[in-house]
Amino acid sequence: MSKVTQDVRLLLPNRLVGPVDLSRTIRELTNLDDSLHQANLRTPGRSVSLPKTTRTLEDLAEINKISLLEKRHREVLLEALKIYQKKAPVIHMSFTVEPSAAVLAEIIVWLRKNIKENVLLDVGLQPTIIVGCVARTSNKVFDMSLRNNISKQAPMLMKYIGGQQA
Amino acid sequence: MQNWLDTILIVGSIAAATLAFIWIAVRIGPKKNSDPKKDYGDAAERDVEHIFNNEFREELRNRGRLHFEKIIGENAMFLQQDLRLTTSQINEYMKQEITKTLQEAFTKYESSISDAKQIALDSIQKTQVAVEDQRKMMGEQLDREITEEKRRILERFERNMTDIVNHYVLQAIGNQINLEDQLEYILGELERNKREIIEDIEVGA
């Protein structure tokens, strides 16, 4: 077991947001590893076509200073990613519409800076939210929607309505 | 009534004249005497018959008749006066009686009308009181119902206010929902719940 695996401190790029992205990256890294392994077994003199890597995987390798061409680094990265897949904290956030990449990037940056650096964000849709979002961790639900806010402000609103009626 | 009085007057006059005639005849008629001096009496009677011959008797009869007629006339006049007086008294009495009877009848009638009026007034008053009570009761019931309905509506409104406002906002902004505009709000909310999120994540880990 490598040092990286024992003390998993992998920095995640902003493009790698949630468990889906993580699974996709693991799959991509596995394919890359297979391709490179096959390339090593190739007959000398024949041309090799390497699979194209995504920007996510490239960013991941870059910020963690990992060379994807080295088998050992790939193995360590893959193992770390699999551990993350199992153990990384996931926050589910529901929005009224599909958030854009820019919005997601802002949110994930904030989460990794303020909550935990390896946190993953699972995005869902809930049209009734309208404004705000609903976040769910493993044990709690944080209703940060306008609906919840209005419920909290109900007495003030009722007072205002009563004042208008009077 | 007048005819009857006239008849009584005439019969009374005839009866009075007859009695007066009989009385005169008895006074001037021969007296019976069983006295021993009957002979003198008879002689005197004969003299009397001499004196009171037919002519004299006729004269007396004429005088008696005249006197009787005079008395009859006077009595008739008196009777007529009495009759007039009685008639006027009777008329007065009848007037008084009729007036009294009518007054009594009118008094009774007025009393009964007054009683009926009072009964009607009492009945109307009772009806008014009942109607007023009913109106008051209905008013109170209506007030209670309105208050209860208002409370129910307010309660329902309060219960569903969040959904109502949410629905209104959804209808108002429709498809113009932009998460980028909400980003500041979302990050603010995350910041507000930051401690709890961290605690839960650490516990979950």
Mean pLDDT of chain B, nearest integer: 84
Q: How many CB pairs under 8 A join A and B?
A: 97
The whole domain housing A74 covers 1-87
What are the backbone dihedrals phi and psi of residue B119, each rounded to the nearest 5 degrees, phi first? -60, -45
pLDDT at A2: 40
CB of A135 within 8 Å of a chain B CB? The answer is yes
pLDDT along chain A (166 residues), means of 10: 53 89 92 85 71 87 87 89 89 89 90 90 86 88 84 75 59
Same domain, A102 and A64: no
Same domain, A95 and A137: yes
Chosen domain end from A40, A56, A87: A87
Determine the Cα–Cα distance for residues A121 and A108; give it in Å rounded to an integer. 7
Same domain, A100 and A35: no
B151: which chain A residues are within 8 Å (Cβ-Cβ)?
none
Contacts of A105 (CB under 8 A, 6+ apart): A14, A15, A17
Q: Which residue in A has a C-alpha nearest to residue B185's C-alpha?
A: A132
ipTM field = 0.79
Same domain, A98 and A159: yes
Same domain, A70 and A18: yes
B170: which chain A residues are within 8 Å (Cβ-Cβ)?
128, 130
Determine the Cα–Cα distance for residues B37 and B42; give it in Å rounded to an integer. 9
pLDDT at A35: 86
Total number of domains in chain A: 2
Determine the Cα–Cα distance for residues A108 and A10; give it in Å rounded to an integer. 15
Write the pLDDT tens digit of every residue in B144-195. Answer: 999 999 888 888 877 777 777 777 777 776 666 678 888 888 899 889 889 9
The three-class DSSP label of residue A133 is strand
Q: pLDDT tens, position by position, for chain B (205 residues)?
A: 677 888 888 888 888 888 988 898 888 766 555 566 667 777 777 777 777 778 888 888 898 899 989 888 888 888 888 888 888 888 888 888 888 888 888 888 888 999 999 999 999 999 999 999 999 999 999 999 999 998 888 888 777 777 777 777 777 766 666 788 888 888 998 898 899 899 888 876 5
Same domain, A99 and A148: yes
Same domain, A134 and A67: no
Same domain, A46 and A124: no
Same domain, A165 and A121: yes
CB of A147 within 8 Å of a chain B CB? The answer is yes
